[in-house]
Structure 1
Amino acid sequence: MIALLRRDLALAVRAGGGFGLGLAFFLIVVVLVPFGVGPEAELLTRIAPGILWVAALLAALLSLDRIFALDFEDGSLPLLATSPLPLEGVALVKGIAHWVTTGLPLTLAAPVLGFLLNLAPSAYLWLLLSLALGTPALSMIGTFGAALTVGLRRGGLLMSLLVLPLYIPTLIFGAEAVRRGADGLDPSTSLLMLAGITLGSFALLPFAASLALRVNLR
Structure 2
Amino acid sequence: MTMQLSYRRAFSTILKRDLVIAFRHRDDILNPILFFIIVVSLFPLGVGPAANTLMKIAPGVIWVAALLSTLLSLERLFKHDYNDGSLEQLLLMPCPTFVLVLAKITAHWLITGLPLIIIAPFLGVLLNLNQDSYVALMLSLLLGTPVLSLLGAIGVALTVGLKKGGVLLSLLVLPLYIPVLIFATGAIDAASMNLPYNGHLAIIAALFFGSLTLAPFAVGSALKVSTN
Which AA in structure 2 matches 1:60?
T
**Residues 212, 95 of structure 1: alpha-carbon distance in 2 compared, 3 angstrom cutoff:** same
Q: Aligned partners of 1:145 and 1:107: how far apart in 2?
A: 23
Displacement, 1:87?
A: 1.6
Structure 1 residues 165-215: Cα deviation after superposition (integer angstroms, max 9, x where no partner): 000001111111111111111110000011000110010011111111111
Residue 156 (structure 1) aligns with: 166
Report the TM-score when normalising by structure 2.
0.93
Residue 33 (structure 2) aligns with: 23
Structure 1 residues 139-181: Cα deviation after superposition (integer angstroms, max 9, x where no partner): 0111111101112011121111100000000111111111111
What pairs up with 1:83-122 in 2 under 5 angstroms? 83-122=93-132
Q: Does the aligned pair in 2 maintain the 1:17–1:63 contact within 8 Å? A: no
Residue 183 (structure 1) aligns with: 193
Q: Aligned partners of 1:103 and 1:5: how far apart in 2?
A: 15
Q: Does the aligned pair in 2 maintain the 1:94–1:143 contact within 8 Å? A: no
Residue 64 (structure 1) aligns with: 74
Report the TM-score when normalising by structure 1.
0.98
Q: Establish whether residue 166 from structure 1 lines up as the match of residue 168 from structure 2.
A: no
Residue identity over aligned pairs, in percent, reads 50
Residue 134 (structure 1) aligns with: 144
Structure 1 residues 101-131: Cα deviation after superposition (integer angstroms, max 9, x where no partner): 0001101110011000000111111101110
- Counterpart secondary structure, 2:124: helix
CA RMSD of aligned residues (A): 0.9
Query: How many residues are treated as equivalent by the alignment?
Result: 218
Displacement, 1:16?
A: 2.2
**Residues 193, 127 of structure 1: alpha-carbon distance in 2 compared, 3 angstrom cutoff:** same
Residue 198 (structure 1) aligns with: 208
Match of 2:14 among 4, 9, 15: 4
Q: Which 4+ stretches in 1 moved above 3 angstroms?
A: none
Q: Aligned partners of 1:180 and 1:30: how far apart in 2?
A: 21
Q: Aligned partners of 1:89 and 1:2: how far apart in 2?
A: 10
Q: Aligned partners of 1:187 and 1:9: how far apart in 2?
A: 35
Q: Does the aligned pair in 2 maintain the 1:18–1:98 contact within 8 Å? A: no
Q: Aligned partners of 2:31 and 2:185: how far apart in 1?
A: 23
Q: Aligned partners of 1:95 and 1:87: how far apart in 2?
A: 12
